[in-house]
């Protein structure tokens, strides 16, 4: 499959498709024309104009008033990339690096950045051949773009730095030699075009958002299984309640839960308890609020990944080169903090349902095991979920309200969006673990409701799940059951029309 880079909108659904089909990239004729025309305009402008133009024939940051002679413009760009490769800490996951390449190519394709066509083509070559630059998590303030991470992304263009290739981390120069590729000689403005941009934050955000949508679906589904196992009531999911408080996510969640349990013997049996705890009764309100938050975050990121975020920007038709601040990551920082908070709440309420299931209520055995006392059963998985939920609360502290001065005072307000991004993904991964623990507990509890059955949909799912994670008759190493549950849900594929509806 080929995905053509053009001015058409790139959204989370086609990114999901690009990733799942391992599509190759190519530039459209329109993108080639825009990139080439912009470069030609810039070359002519440099030839005709001798006054300083920021980042093109000047220094960078607080050195913006230092004029650079024409013969040193290429070296200036090379020095920029090399000197800014100051990342440290853990390595960025390869899936996110690949997204960074895709999003950087998309941003450069609009013809406002002044890059050479061969530079963009080489980035596409890296993507298509799974040559992934080694990038580090720490180093970006999320304001002058993601400078340090994008410098590491760009180093291999020059034959510098390291890349992942064929399962190994190797010097970029070796891979270029294998393909008979000469290092790119950067021209004026190119280093800044490569380094100014929000592709580190954006890639983390898109990756986390795609996973968050999947976990939002699982949160509803596992809540429905827990509701059945707890012998909960269906009335809180009646449309009438939600139509008089018509938040989209709330109404959608209630309808989804009802669909999951449709035809269940358990949900239709007479109930002894008049009301359920909030963690069951308020699933539409809590899960729904997260859904509405994801919709806002999706809009923010889809706007960002279809934007030009380097500096300065070149406008051929208007004969303008304008230095501004499109690299500032504040919209993303706020959205990423919001993502962490919203997803943390899915984990929070999930852990409360797990707590209710192991508490020996409504005819369920304490800790969901035969012979409690002799067996500890599911006592400690709830501890594990509780510890993860509390860690998420710590990770959900906003990064976007922070700032620190850099570049000798020139860059005096920064977004901290990169820190928000690396925190948000930790929260999302943690929520996956908490939801896996809920599924483990709910499926165990449901066995004690036999001979009554849940819906055909839930029973069919649990039959597949039990083939991977058997019922716990007596104490065993439950970390293995949690690990296998995680693998089971990670391997499941949810169609886009369900995932993003």
Same domain membership, residue 228 and residue 187: no
Q: CA angle, corner 483, sides to 480 and 484, nearest 5?
A: 85
Span between the terminal Cα atoms of the chain, in Å: 25
Average pLDDT of the segment spanning 127-150: 96
Q: Could you give the number of structural domains in the chain?
A: 2
Residue 141: which of 130, 149, 133 has the closest Cα?
149
Same domain membership, residue 234 and residue 164: no
Average pLDDT of the segment spanning 402-426: 91
Find the DSSP H helices in 230-277: 239-243, 248-261, 265-268
Contact 128, 293 (CB under 8 A): no
Residue 485 lies in a domain: yes
Distances (CA, A) of 215 to 101, 209, 223, 397, 458: 25, 10, 12, 21, 17
Q: Is the pLDDT of residue 7 over 80?
A: no
Same domain membership, residue 382 and residue 258: yes
C-alpha neighbours within 13 Å on the C-beta side of residue 394? 8
Residue 64 lies in a domain: yes
Residue 317 lies in a domain: no
Q: Is the pLDDT of residue 209 over 80?
A: yes
Q: What is the pLDDT of residue 490?
A: 96
Residue 315 lies in a domain: no
Residue 101 lies in a domain: yes
Alpha-carbon dihedral 492, 493, 495, 500, rounded to 10 degrees: 70
Last residue of some domain: 152, 178, 197? 197
Same domain membership, residue 209 and residue 161: no
Q: What is the pLDDT of residue 159?
A: 98
Residue 371 lies in a domain: yes
Which of 7-16, 215-224, 397-406, 470-479 is the most confident on average?
A: 215-224
Q: What is the pLDDT of residue 163?
A: 98
Contact 199, 421 (CB under 8 A): no
Residue 74 lies in a domain: yes
Same domain membership, residue 154 and residue 289: no
Q: With helix as H, strand as E and coil as C, how does 71-132 read?
A: HHHHHHHHHHHHHHCCCEEEECCHHHHHHHHHHHHHHHCCCCCCCCHHHHHHHHHHHHCCCE
Same domain membership, residue 175 and residue 139: yes
Q: What is the pLDDT of residue 438?
A: 98
Range of the domain at 65: 2-197
Write out the two tokens for 276.
Answer: 């359920």
Reduced to 3 states (helix: H, G, I; strand: E, B; else coil), residue 298 is helix
Last residue of some domain: 197, 218, 249? 197
Q: Is the pLDDT of residue 61 over 70?
A: no
Same domain membership, residue 211 and residue 76: no
What's the CATH code of the domain at 140? 1.10.275.10
Do β-strands 88-91 and 2-5 pair in parallel, antiparallel, or remain unpaired?
Answer: unpaired
Reduced to 3 states (helix: H, G, I; strand: E, B; else coil), residue 310 is coil
Q: What is the pLDDT of residue 63?
A: 64
Average pLDDT of the segment spanning 159-178: 98
Catalytic residues: 54
Burial annotation 281-311 (CB, 10 A radius, 16+ → b, else e): bebbbbbbbbbebbeebbebbbebbbbbbbb
Contact 388, 426 (CB under 8 A): no
Same domain membership, residue 244 and residue 122: no
pLDDT band at 137 (very low <50, low <70, confident <90, very high): very high
Residue 91's DSSP bridge partners are 136
Q: Is the pLDDT of residue 46 over 90?
A: no
pLDDT band at 50 (very low <50, low <70, confident <90, very high): confident
Write out the two tokens for 342.
Answer: 């919203």
Q: Is the pLDDT of residue 121 over 90?
A: yes
Find the DSSP H helices in 312-398: 330-357, 379-395
C-alpha neighbours within 13 Å on the C-beta side of residue 52? 12
pLDDT tens for 19-33 read 999 999 999 999 999
Residue 86 lies in a domain: yes
Same domain membership, residue 239 and residue 181: no
pLDDT tens for 251-284 read 999 999 999 999 999 999 999 999 999 999 999 9
Same domain membership, residue 242 and residue 161: no
Reduced to 3 states (helix: H, G, I; strand: E, B; else coil), residue 449 is coil
Same domain membership, residue 280 and residue 233: yes
pLDDT tens for 63-85 read 666 677 777 788 889 999 999 99
Last residue of some domain: 136, 167, 197? 197
The H or E element that residue 215 is part of is helix 199-229
Share of the chain above pLDDT 70, in %: 98
pLDDT band at 241 (very low <50, low <70, confident <90, very high): very high
Same domain membership, residue 465 and residue 442: yes
Neighbouring CB atoms inside 10 A of 145's CB total: 29
Residue 210: which of 490, 483, 457 has the closest Cα?
490
What gap in Å lies between CA 175 and CA 376, rounded to an integer? 54
Average pLDDT of the segment spanning 470-485: 95
- Map tokens 């995905």 to a residue: 3
Average pLDDT of the segment spanning 171-189: 97
pLDDT band at 409 (very low <50, low <70, confident <90, very high): confident
Neighbouring CB atoms inside 10 A of 391's CB total: 15
Burial annotation 61-89 (CB, 10 A radius, 16+ → b, else e): eeeeeeebeeeebeebbbebbeebbebee
């Amino acid at each position: 499959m080929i995905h053509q880079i053009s001015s058409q909108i790139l959204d989370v659904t086609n990114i999901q498709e690009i990733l799942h089909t391992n599509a190759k990239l190519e530039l459209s004729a329109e993108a080639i024309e825009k990139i080439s025309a912009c470069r030609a305009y810039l070359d002519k402008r440099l030839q005709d104009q001798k006054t300083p133009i920021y980042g093109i024939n000047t220094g960078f940051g607080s050195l913006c008033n230092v004029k650079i002679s024409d013969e040193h413009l290429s070296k200036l760009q090379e020095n920029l990339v090399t000197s800014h490769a100051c990342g440290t800490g853990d390595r960025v996951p390869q899936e996110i690096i690949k997204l960074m390449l895709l999003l950087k190519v998309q941003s450069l394709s609009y013809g406002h950045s002044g890059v050479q066509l061969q530079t963009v083509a080489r980035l596409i070559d890296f993507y298509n051949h799974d040559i992934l630059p080694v990038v580090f998590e720490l180093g970006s303030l999320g304001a002058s773009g993601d400078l340090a991470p994008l410098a590491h992304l760009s180093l291999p263009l020059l034959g510098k730095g390291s890349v992942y290739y064929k399962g190994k981390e190797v010097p970029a120069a070796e891979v270029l030699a294998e393909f008979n590729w000469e290092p790119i000689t950067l021209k004026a403005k190119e280093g800044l075009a490569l380094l100014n941009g929000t592709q580190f934050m954006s890639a983390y955000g898109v990756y986390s958002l795609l996973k968050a949508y999947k976990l939002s679906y699982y949160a509803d589904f596992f809540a429905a299984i827990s509701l059945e196992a707890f012998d909960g009531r269906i009335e809180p999911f009646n449309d009438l309640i939600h139509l008089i408080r018509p938040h989209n996510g709330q109404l959608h969640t209630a309808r989804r839960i009802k669909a999951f349990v449709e035809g269940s013997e358990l949900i239709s049996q007479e109930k002894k308890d008049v009301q359920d705890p909030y963690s069951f009764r308020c699933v539409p309100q809590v899960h729904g609020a997260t859904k509405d938050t994801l919709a806002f975050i999706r809009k923010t990121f889809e706007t960002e990944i279809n934007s030009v975020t380097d500096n300065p920007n070149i406008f051929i038709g208007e004969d303008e080169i304008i230095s501004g601040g499109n690299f500032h990551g504040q919209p993303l920082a706020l959205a990423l903090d919001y993502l962490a908070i919203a997803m943390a709440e899915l984990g929070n309420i999930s852990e409360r349902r797990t707590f209710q299931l192991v508490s020996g209520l409504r005819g369920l055995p304490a800790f969901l095991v035969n012979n409690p006392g002799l067996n500890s059963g599911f006592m400690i998985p709830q501890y594990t979920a509780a510890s993860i939920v509390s860690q998420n609360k710590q990770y959900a502290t906003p990064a976007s309200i922070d700032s620190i001065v850099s570049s000798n005072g020139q860059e005096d307000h920064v977004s901290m969006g990169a820190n928000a991004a690396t925190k948000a993904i930790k929260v999302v991964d943690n929520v996956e673990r908490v939801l896996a623990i809920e599924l483990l507990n709910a499926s165990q509890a449901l066995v004690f409701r036999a001979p009554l059955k849940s819906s055909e949909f839930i029973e069919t799912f649990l039959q597949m799940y039990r083939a991977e994670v058997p019922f716990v008759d007596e104490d065993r190493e439950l970390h293995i059951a949690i690990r296998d549950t995680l693998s089971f849900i990670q391997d499941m594929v949810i169609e886009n029309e369900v995932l993003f509806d």
